[in-house]
Amino acid sequence: MAKSAAASDDRNALPQERQQRILARLRNEGRVVAVELAEAFAVSEDSIRRDLRELAAQGLCKRVYGGALLPAVTLASLKQRRTEHPLRKQALARQAASLVKAGQTLLIDAGTTNLAIAAALPAGAGLCVITNAPQIAQLLLDREDFDVQMIGGRINPSIGGAIGAQAVEQVRRLRADLCFPGACAIDAAHGLWGFDSEEALFKRAMIEASDETVVVATDDKLAAVATYQVVELARVQHLVVEHSADRATRAAFSTHGVMVHRAEAVA
């Protein structure tokens, strides 16, 4: 009955609603086929192709023969990422920090969103923070209630943190309550992804050393594409998303047992 109702809704969708539902399917499945969409929405293939052209013009999909794929995510420089969407990252950070409990040991990966999370951590909570990012460690040094520990090794300037064999070995000797691995991409079908093979290994070691994992993702990283799988989605307990993340995308992760936390809206 629910499936029939959903099919009826698709057939009665207005053009803008149809595009949002196409985008939700794309994020959930990674690809869409024009002829299948035309049948599902009871419109012509020309209408679907027009929808896909408009979505592609917004950078939300990549047109291919017969349909569309998710756009490949490219990694901007660390300097550029520091200036991108500060208010959105702060909203995500506040939601992520609300998951932290007093007395916990946290593993925090490098990254500008994780830097915002470090800044949002509650005062007086007696936290131990272990990080591979010098900038995060420096930020927390002035917090008298924090025990700050650094993971050493080669600092990758584009990542802003230590990765490689030495860093991975140190993480494998740790045990944390909660970890915050940086997210390059995450999708409901295949889990968490990274762009750099050594960075992906480091993130995986973080997750293996922690009781719970919190992935914090801006909208562009949800159901996006990267190169190296970090872990399957079953290894992620919490996903923090922006307020603007659509319902279908959130539901796709919830269906797989991930607790989805929605950040407050940004004006």
- Tell me the two tokens of residue 74: 């490219």
Element (H, E) at 20: helix 15-29
What is the per-residue pLDDT for 56?
A: 87
- Tell me the two tokens of residue 18: 């149809």
* Class in CATH terms, 78-262: alpha beta
Q: What are the tens digits of pLDDT across the range 149-182?
A: 999 988 888 888 999 999 999 999 999 999 999 9
The pTM (predicted TM-score) of the whole model is 0.72
Q: What are the tens digits of pLDDT across the range 88-146?
A: 999 999 999 999 999 999 999 999 999 999 999 998 899 999 999 999 999 999 888 89
- Residues in the chain, total: 267
Q: How far apart are CA 18 and CA 36, in angstroms?
A: 13
Tell me the C-alpha to C-alpha distance, in Å, between residue 260 and each of 38, 49, 96, 183: 31, 32, 11, 15
**pLDDT grade, residue 72 (50/70/90)?**
low
Residue 5 has pLDDT above 60, yes or no: no
Domain ranges of the chain: 2-69, 78-262
CATH topology for 2-69 is Arc Repressor Mutant, subunit A (1.10.10)
